[in-house]
Structure 1
Amino acid sequence: MTAEVTLEVVSPGAYASVQDAGRRGYRRYGVPVAGVLDARGMRLANALAGNEPGTPVIEALDGGLHLAARGGPVRVAVAGPAELEHAVAGERRVLDAWRSLTLADGDSLRVRRLLHGRLVVVAVEGLAVPPVLGSASTYPRAALGGLDGRALAPGARLPVPAATARRELTLPKPLRADTRPIRVVPGPQADHFAPETRAAFAEAGYQVTAEADRMGVRLQGPVLAHQGAPEIVSDAIVPGAIQVPGNGQPIVLLADAQTAGGYPKIGTVIGADLARVAGARPGETLRFAWVTAEQGEQLARAAEAQTQALLATLHPLLPGGVDEAALYGGNLVSGVVHALSTEYRPA
């Protein structure tokens, strides 16, 4: 009998869960979209692993995720600003992220640390998780999706097919931290705040507090005073909405946010920037900038074009992890030294 191949979660780190593009069409029943916080990271990781773009992935917050292959080879791919540790028969080597890697039976991979931010996405070749309401995304508050509707726990095992025989892939130029202001479209209740308050929101920095998870990010900074009552009749919430409760401190809502709420929303973070908010670490300062809805649409198209360009740059790694494109793209002839002379002779 052939042993079942699985990927074991030795440790989930701070928090890890199975996510995909999200659960659409059920918000009117009170079911949040959920889904991965970094959609671009999911697409890049899946492409590196050889998966279709919407294949479920493992999303981890704050590092520490530790995975191991059991019963056979498993291909994984990591997208995010991470430093990795690959363990083979007791020997460990440090690797950069933005690449795929085949773990032989017994090998393990650990996210040692994040170089910036707090989000990392791990794709697993062939990962298939039964959908619930059309999605594999984990929403623990209602026990939907993922593995038994819960975040990943130590010892959890994901059944996967054995890795296919192919060369590993890499992204040649890892993404750098984006330090530009977070772009925000006004409203839908921008009129609950005076013009000078809206201006101050974009002029001041807001610090990410420790109250930051997949549901939302509480910020701390200058008070955003309401014009009139600090509550409204509950209306729809979408990921990116910036609620301002009575204390005047904004909350940016994310994938697991409730579907309706009764606090005025001063603005909505554009989709192209939402992953940056979700990935901000507690103590980090965020700055905001107002844009129109039309500008938000243009920025969304530009972000999609950039994602497509990044996907087009993926290329194979040579055995041993050598970047083939960098090797052949370099000038390997210049600076050659003649075999019969110690004199330097430019080529």
Structure 2
Amino acid sequence: MIEILSSAALATVQDLGRTGSLRWGVGTSGAMDNLALAAGNLLLGNELGAAAVEIPVFPFKVLFDEDCAFALTGADCAARLDDQPLLPWWVHQARAGQVLTLGLPQGGAQRGSRAVLCVAGGIDVPEVLGSRSTQLRGAFGGHEGRALRRGDLLRAAGAASACRTGFGLVPPALALPLERDGAMAVRVLPAAEYAAFEPSSREAFWAGEWKITPHSDRYGYRLEGEALRPIAPMELRSHGIVPGVIQVPHNGQPIIQMRDAQPSGGYPKFGTVIEADMWRLGQAPIGSRIRFIETTWDEALDALDEVRAWLDKVARMVELHRGAPAARN
């Protein structure tokens, strides 16, 4: 068991998401950084989509009530086990009674915006519609359908299992970098109403930087930049949308639908962030600036293959490490 010692808001139990339920009006949820969750699970020998704790606000503390192997991925959050500093993207061993503390690096500089705490065997909460992810708006899934709070107890399904520790990997932000003019970038496919916007707005979308405003969350990232103007006013019926879709409301400031996005909406669709780059957005801090790169369908598929190849490389590395003889003291 692990016990939550913090009252910091918005930490939730997440897995890779709830697929197949959009037709019932149920969003996907799932980890904002799916690569961090998948890699952490691979490091521990878990199933790829085992549930973990996603932590977007620091400091955050948990108490291990029993011995348990764990991996920290995602944001570099100056983690400590009792008084011992921990490496990010690494497998560690906690003993019963030890406290894990996640905080901001010295000086306040932070790489990434969400840490992911994976534990041996995964976080054991009930499946709802095929997923253990928390759906905050519907108040189901995860731990009682809500954000975690002080005093909550979570069971680590494989806490008693033997698990090799003391190794890690290079994070995808370094292994798969993507920037434009010094700013983090994501690739975007033009969407259904793209051609209905003024040419100058289409050009500004690709050429400019966009600020992620404080009005952003797991439901959507609201951006600030040069307003996108339609050629003529548009009124659309509500229609299906998915995470990654970029909608443009009447004020011209885009909204990127994120993991907790509602399954329908009526604003014009300007573009769609490709699936292979959604993890990058998930780690983009509030207040940071991002750039968009126009891409094609074939390039989007190639990018997804690149991500899968990186995960395959991680899996092979872990397999080699687990097959190596244990070091002698």
Q: Which residue of 2 aligns with 1:232?
A: 236
Q: Which residue of 2 aligns with 1:106?
A: 97
Q: Which residue of 1 aligns with 2:224?
A: 220
Q: Deviations over 1:33-88 (max 9, x none)?
A: 11111111111111122211111111111332211111x2122111123221111x
Greater Cα shift, 257-266 or 164-173: 164-173
Write out aligned runs for 1:132-151 (5 A): 132-151=128-147
Answer yes or no: is 1:284 the counterpart of 2:279: no
Distance 2:5 2:19 in 1: 31
Q: 1:169, CA displacement in angstroms?
A: 4.4
Q: Which runs of 5+ in 1 are unaligned?
A: 1-5, 318-323, 325-347
Greater Cα shift, 42-51 or 200-209: 42-51
Matched residue count? 308
Q: 1:191, CA displacement in angstroms?
A: 2.2
Higher-Rg structure is 1
Q: Partner letter of residue 76 of structure 1?
A: F
Distance 1:12 1:292 in 2: 44
Q: Which residue of 2 aligns with 1:156?
A: 152
Distance 1:175 1:205 in 2: 23
Matched position secondary structure for 2:104:
strand
Matched position secondary structure for 1:197:
helix
Matched position secondary structure for 1:110:
strand
Q: Which residue of 1 aligns with 2:42?
A: 47
Q: Deviations over 1:92-133 (max 9, x none)?
A: 011111112221111011112263120111111123211011
Distance 1:294 1:288 in 2: 17
- Give the CA RMSD over aligned residues: 1.9
Answer yes or no: is 1:76 the counterpart of 2:70: yes
Q: Which runs of 4+ in 1 moved over 4 A?
A: none
* Contact 1:12 1:60 (C-alpha < 8 Å) held by counterparts: no
Q: 1:179, CA displacement in angstroms?
A: 4.6
Matched position secondary structure for 2:137:
helix
Q: Determine which structure has the larger strand proportion and give its number.
A: 1
Distance 2:273 2:265 in 1: 17
Write out aligned runs for 1:181-330 (5 A): 181-314=185-318
Q: Which residue of 1 aligns with 2:27?
A: 32
Distance 1:193 1:219 in 2: 17
Matched position secondary structure for 2:4:
strand
Matched position secondary structure for 1:36:
coil
Q: Deviations over 1:144-177 (max 9, x none)?
A: 1011111111110012343323430422434445
* Contact 1:36 1:59 (C-alpha < 8 Å) held by counterparts: yes
Q: Deviations over 1:263-302 (max 9, x none)?
A: 0010000011111112211221101011112211111111
Q: 1:14 to 1:113 in 2, by over 3 A?
A: farther
Q: 1:166 to 1:125 in 2, by over 3 A?
A: closer
Q: Which residue of 1 aligns with 2:164?
A: 167
- Residue identity over aligned pairs, in percent, reads 35
* Contact 2:189 2:274 (C-alpha < 8 Å) held by counterparts: yes
- Using the size of structure 1 for normalisation, the TM-score is 0.84
Q: Deviations over 1:226-285 (max 9, x none)?
A: 122243111111100001000000011111001110100100000111111122112211
Greater Cα shift, 145-154 or 97-106: 97-106
* Contact 2:9 2:149 (C-alpha < 8 Å) held by counterparts: no
Distance 1:12 1:123 in 2: 20
Q: Which residue of 2 aligns with 1:341?
A: none
Answer yes or no: is 1:66 the counterpart of 2:61: yes
Matched position secondary structure for 2:16:
coil
Q: Which residue of 2 aligns with 1:328?
A: none
Matched position secondary structure for 1:294:
helix
* Contact 1:138 1:149 (C-alpha < 8 Å) held by counterparts: yes
Matched position secondary structure for 2:284:
coil
Q: 1:207, CA displacement in angstroms?
A: 0.6
- Out of 18, 23, 29, the position equivalent to 2:18 is 23
Distance 2:130 2:27 in 1: 13
Distance 1:19 1:198 in 2: 35
Q: 1:271 to 1:139 in 2, by over 3 A?
A: same
Distance 2:321 2:314 in 1: 14
